[in-house]
């Protein structure tokens, strides 16, 4: 299996690049943000619980997210590899993911980390909010809260994988195609 984490702050382009990467490499896309939004749309108990956190720009509790990922794996037993987008977002999630992959006798091959300046992030998220219908993209305070959560809880996830020498930084500014080409180059020499 080839398992990849696409990492970076909110607005760094993970969703856009993930769509292109899963198509090119035939990976299964696991976006916890998308899974949570689906739960919200379907008004499930999990969705209702998650919405309260998401609307404030806070992370959803680890046990909720980890349970959701576990059940996603149950439904994708034939996958030849996963692209993790927006997960893991805390050290506890990273440890849980390692354990789940170990059960499948596999592991993370590489973490590709997109770097984008903070002003560019806010600009992109506000712009996305005009059309995405995502309530967490329309309020600048919520956007800033998400970036703060990223610095406080998520940035350490890169340190976790750096210990295993699995992190590669990729410039996340430029055209979508340029960034895609940089990501593909890093994958092609590892796959």
Whether 128 is catalytic:
yes
Based on the residue annotation, tell me whether 190 is a catalytic residue of this protein.
no
Judged by CB, which is closer to ligand ADP: 117, or 191? 117
Tell me how far, at minimum, the Cβ of 189 lies from ligand ADP, in Å.
Answer: 27
Active site residue 14: yes
Q: Helix 91-103 to helix 62-74 angle, to the nearest 10 degrees?
A: 20
**Distance from C-alpha of 161 to C-alpha of 151, rounded to nearest angstrom:** 16
Tell me how far the alpha carbon of residue 163 is from its chain's centroid.
20
Task: Report the residue number, 151 or 190, with the smaller CB distance to ligand ADP.
Answer: 151
Comparing CA positions, the residue from 27, 17, 25, 26 lying closest to residue 178 is 17
d(C-alpha 181, C-alpha 155), whole Å: 24
Burial of 48 from C-beta contacts in 10 A (0-12 / 13-18 / 19+): exposed
**Active-site choice (37, 51, 124, 146):** 146
For the question of residue 146 being annotated catalytic, the response is: yes
- Interface with ligand ADP by CB under 6 A: which residues? 10-11, 32-33, 36, 53-54, 58-60, 65, 86-87, 89, 93, 136, 146
Active-site entry in 56, 123, 134, 153: 134
By beta-carbon proximity to ligand ADP, the closer residue of 152 and 190 is 152
For residue 37, indicate whether it is catalytic.
no
The catalytic site residues sit at 14, 89, 128, 134, 146
């Amino acid at each position: 299996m080839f398992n990849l984490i696409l990492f970076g702050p909110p607005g760094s382009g993970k969703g856009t690049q993930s769509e292109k990467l899963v198509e090119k490499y035939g990976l299964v896309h696991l976006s916890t943000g998308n899974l949570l939004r689906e739960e919200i749309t379907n008004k499930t108990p999990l969705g209702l619980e998650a919405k309260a956190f998401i609307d404030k720009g806070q992370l959803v509790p680890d046990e909720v997210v980890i349970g959701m990922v576990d059940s996603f794996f149950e439904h994708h037993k034939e996958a030849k590899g996963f692209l993790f987008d927006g997960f893991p977002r805390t050290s506890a999630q990273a440890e849980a993911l390692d354990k789940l992959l170990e059960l499948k006798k596999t592991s993370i091959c590489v973490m590709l980390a997109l770097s984008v300046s903070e002003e560019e992030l806010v600009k992109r998220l506000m712009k996305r909010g005009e059309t995405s219908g995502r309530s967490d993209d329309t309020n600048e305070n919520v956007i800033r809260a998400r970036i703060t959560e990223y610095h406080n809880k998520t940035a350490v996830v890169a340190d976790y994988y750096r210990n295993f020498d699995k992190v590669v930084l990729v410039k996340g500014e430029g055209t979508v195609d340029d960034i895609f080409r940089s990501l593909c180059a890093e994958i092609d020499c590892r796959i």
